[in-house]
Chains A and B, each alone.
Chain A
Amino acid sequence: MSKSRRLKLRIFRVVVLLLMGAFFLLPIGAMLEFSTRGNDVTSPRTLDAWVRIAQTPGLVKGIVVSLQLAVITSLGMLALLLPTMVWVRLRLPRISRIVEFICLLPLTVPAIALVVGLKPLYVWVNINVTPSVLALAFAYLVLVLPYSYRALDAGLAAIDLKTLSEAAQSLGAGWGTVMLRIIIPNMPSAILNASLLSVALVLGEYTVANLLNFQNLQVEVAYVGLTDANTSTAVAVGALLLAFVLLMVLTLVGGRLQQQHYIPGQRA
Chain B
Amino acid sequence: MEELSRRYGPVVALNELTLTMAPGELVALLGPSGCGKTTALRLVAGLEEANGGRVVFGGKDVTGLPASKRDVGMVFQAYSLFPHMTAMQNVAFGLTLRHKTADERKNRAGEMLELVGLSGFADRYASQLSGGQQQRVALARALAIEPTVLLLDEPLSALDAKVRSRLRDEIRRVQLEIGITTLFVTHDQEEALAIADRVGVMQSGHLEQLGPPTEIYSRPATPFVAEFVGLTNRLAGEVKFGMVEVRGTQLPLVQPNAPTGPAIALVRPEAVSLAAEAAMGNGPLVGTVIAVAFLGATSRITVDLGDGVTVLAQMPTSAAAATPAGTRVRLALRDDPVLIAREEKASGDA
Contacts and interface: CB of A to CB of B under 8 A. Distances in A.
Contacts of B66: 2
A97 interface: no
Contacts of A3: 49
A3 B49 CA distance: 8
Contacts of B48: 1
Contacts of B49: 2-3
A195 B49 CA distance: 49
Nearest to A3: B49
B122 to A, nearest CB: 33
A224 to B, nearest CB: 54
Interface residues of B, number: 4
A9 to B, nearest CB: 15
Nearest to B66: A2
Main SS class of interface, A: loop
A4 to B, nearest CB: 10
Contacts, number: 5
Interface in B140-155: none
A1 B48 CA distance: 6
Interface string A1-35: 11100000000000000000000000000000000
Nearest to A5: B66
B64 to A, nearest CB: 10
- Size class of the contact patch on chain A: under 10
Contacts of B47: 1
Nearest to B48: A1
A3 B47 CA distance: 11
A37 B48 CA distance: 56
Contacts of A1: 47-48
A40 to B, nearest CB: 57
B52 to A, nearest CB: 15
Nearest to B67: A2
A103 to B, nearest CB: 28
A258 B47 CA distance: 35
Interface in B181-239: none
Interface in B42-91: 47-49, 66
Interface string A160-191: 00000000000000000000000000000000
A1 B8 CA distance: 13
A1 B47 CA distance: 6
Contacts of A2: 49, 66
A2 B48 CA distance: 7
Interface string B303-315: 0000000000000
A1 B67 CA distance: 10
Nearest to B47: A1
A163 B49 CA distance: 50
A2 B47 CA distance: 8
A190 to B, nearest CB: 28
A98 B52 CA distance: 61
A1 B66 CA distance: 9
Interface string B22-52: 0000000000000000000000000111000
A85 to B, nearest CB: 29
A2 to B, nearest CB: 6
A6 to B, nearest CB: 10
Nearest to A6: B49
A2 B66 CA distance: 8
A7 to B, nearest CB: 13
A2 B49 CA distance: 7
Interface in B274-326: none
B118 to A, nearest CB: 32
A255 B49 CA distance: 36
A1 to B, nearest CB: 8
A31 B294 CA distance: 77
Interface in A105-164: none
Nearest to B46: A2
Interface in A48-102: none
A2 B64 CA distance: 10
A1 B46 CA distance: 9
B8 to A, nearest CB: 13
A236 to B, nearest CB: 45
Interface in A167-220: none
A1 B49 CA distance: 7
A250 to B, nearest CB: 32
B13 to A, nearest CB: 15
B69 to A, nearest CB: 12
A3 B66 CA distance: 11
B34 to A, nearest CB: 20
A181 B47 CA distance: 52
B16 to A, nearest CB: 21
5 contacts: A1-B47, A1-B48, A2-B49, A2-B66, A3-B49
The 5 A-B pairs of least Cβ separation, nearest first, read A2-B66, A2-B49, A3-B49, A1-B48, A1-B47
